[in-house]
């Protein structure tokens, strides 16, 4: 049961959405027939130990609706109030996304990251507004909007979801509590515009670590996520805390110390065609103690050349990757 109602969701978000949020992926058993609950619990515990304040229950993998609901329920149970579980609203249609968000709310999720289906191809921004409002009206959960080129809206506006549409949505949907600002990526004009327009009303997240660390030293950024920061272990939550304490020189020194890992991350093929390589993300987290292990096919793959680059990047940055051999990643730390 939610601890807030839709009309006070923004006050809840202002209090709770402080810190850094990572991503947990739903590991499957070795025969690929069911969810590996022990692995999910391991990843939630590791996220908490690393200092994350929220984590996304990734649905952008091969998983049934029933399994996804179980996945969220296990995450919430393991979290026991210590970390926020974020529902990942990227199912096949508006109708399916409404069903999924109702299930996620029953399972105990507290925040929604709203994406859009691959076969949603709007002819106008009015259609984006209508889809978003219909979704928000169908749930009492707090919603984080997510302008990003991934959805294919750039043919309508270079900001992906422009400020006038965001303005209407924030005015019309009281449970919109945050914006994950990646519109127009990799350029940062749209995120800066979003911050300027709305940071006094809703929480603005700058989720890209190499943007968040410098920007947060000159403008208030209470939340960073959801993102790939599991690759850096506890480093980004640590930097976030330094920035909140205005210890900018120390935060900047850590930013530079991560440079080899940052460049290693940027050199591998993270995705294409609007779909992230979640197996690669899983390996990145496994290097820092997360479970690793099976995802169902079809999935993108990871190759030795990429594993070498990612491991050596962490080593060069002093971020202490596991010494376990890479073949152990494919089995996972809690095999079933």
- Burial status of residue 158 (CB atoms within 10 A of its CB: 0-12, 13-18, 19 or more): middle
Residue 281 domain-assigned (yes or no): no
- Position 18 scores a pLDDT of 98
Instruction: Express as a percent the part of the chain with pLDDT over 70.
Output: 100
DSSP annotation string for 215-236:
HTTTS---EE-SSSGGGGTTHH
Mean pLDDT for the stretch of residues 199-217? 98
Residue 334 domain-assigned (yes or no): no
DSSP annotation string for 65-90:
HHHHHHHHHHHHHHHTTSSEEEEEE-
Instruction: Express as a percent the part of the chain with pLDDT over 90.
Output: 99
Q: What is the C-alpha to C-alpha distance for residues 266 and 268, in angstroms, rounded to an integer?
A: 6
Q: What is the C-alpha to C-alpha distance for residues 285 and 288, in angstroms, rounded to an integer?
A: 5
Mean pLDDT for the stretch of residues 64-82? 98
Q: Is residue 334 very low, low, confident or very high in pLDDT (cuts 50, 70, 90)?
A: very high
Mean pLDDT for the stretch of residues 26-50? 98
Residue 276 domain-assigned (yes or no): no
- Position 272 scores a pLDDT of 87
Residue 169 in this model has a pLDDT that exceeds 90: yes
Residue 135 domain-assigned (yes or no): yes
Residue 111 domain-assigned (yes or no): yes
Give me Rg for the CA atoms of the chain. Answer: 19
Residue 149 in this model has a pLDDT that exceeds 90: yes
Q: Is residue 57 very low, low, confident or very high in pLDDT (cuts 50, 70, 90)?
A: very high
What would the two tokens of residue 284 be?
């990145």
Residue 207 domain-assigned (yes or no): yes
- Position 1 scores a pLDDT of 86
CATH of the domain at 45: 3.20.20.70
Residue 100 domain-assigned (yes or no): yes
What would the two tokens of residue 41 be?
């619990």
The domain of 86 spans 6-245
Total domains present in the chain: 1
DSSP annotation string for 31-68:
TSSSB-HHHHHHHHHHHHHTT-SEEEE--SSS--HHHH
Residue 155 domain-assigned (yes or no): yes
pLDDT tens figures, 228-285: 999 999 999 999 999 999 999 999 999 999 999 999 999 999 988 999 999 999 999 9
Mean pLDDT for the stretch of residues 127-148? 98
- Position 84 scores a pLDDT of 98
Residues 141, 106: contact at Cβ < 8 Å?
Answer: no
């Amino acid at each position: 049961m939610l601890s807030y109602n839709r009309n006070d969701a923004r006050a809840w978000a202002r209090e709770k959405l402080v810190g850094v949020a990572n991503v947990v992926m739903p590991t499957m058993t070795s025969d690929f027939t069911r969810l590996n609950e022990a692995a999910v619990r391991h990843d939630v515990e590791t996220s908490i130990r690393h200092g994350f304040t929220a984590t996304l229950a990734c649905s952008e993998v091969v998983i049934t609706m029933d399994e996804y609901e179980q996945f969220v329920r296990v995450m919430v149970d393991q979290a026991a109030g210590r970390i926020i579980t974020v529902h990942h609203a990227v199912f096949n249609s508006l109708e399916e996304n409404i069903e999924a968000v109702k299930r996620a709310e029953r399972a105990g999720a507290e925040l929604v990251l709203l994406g859009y289906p691959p076969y949603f191809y709007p002819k106008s921004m009015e259609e984006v507004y209508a889809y978003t409002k219909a979704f928000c009206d169908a749930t009492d959960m707090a919603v984080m909007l997510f302008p990003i080129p991934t959805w294919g809206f750039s043919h309508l506006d270079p900001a992906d979801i422009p400020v006038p549409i965001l303005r209407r949505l924030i005015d019309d949907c009281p449970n919109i509590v945050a914006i994950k600002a990646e519109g127009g990526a990799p350029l940062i004009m749209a995120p800066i515009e979003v911050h300027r327009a709305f940071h006094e009303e809703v929480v603005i997240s700058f989720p890209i670590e190499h943007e968040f660390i410098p920007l947060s030293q000159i403008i208030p950024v209470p939340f960073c996520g959801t993102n790939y920061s599991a690759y850096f272990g506890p480093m980004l939550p640590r930097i976030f805390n330094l920035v909140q304490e205005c210890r900018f020189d120390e935060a900047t020194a850590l930013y530079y110390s991560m440079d080899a890992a940052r460049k290693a991350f940027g050199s591998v093929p993270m995705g294409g065609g609007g779909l992230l390589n979640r197996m690669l993300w899983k390996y990145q987290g496994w290097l820092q103690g997360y479970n690793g292990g099976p995802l169902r096919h079809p999935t993108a793959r990871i190759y030795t050349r990429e594993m070498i680059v990612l491991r050596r990047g962490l080593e060069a940055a002093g971020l202490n990757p596991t010494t376990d051999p890479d073949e152990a990643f494919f089995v996972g730390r809690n095999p079933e």
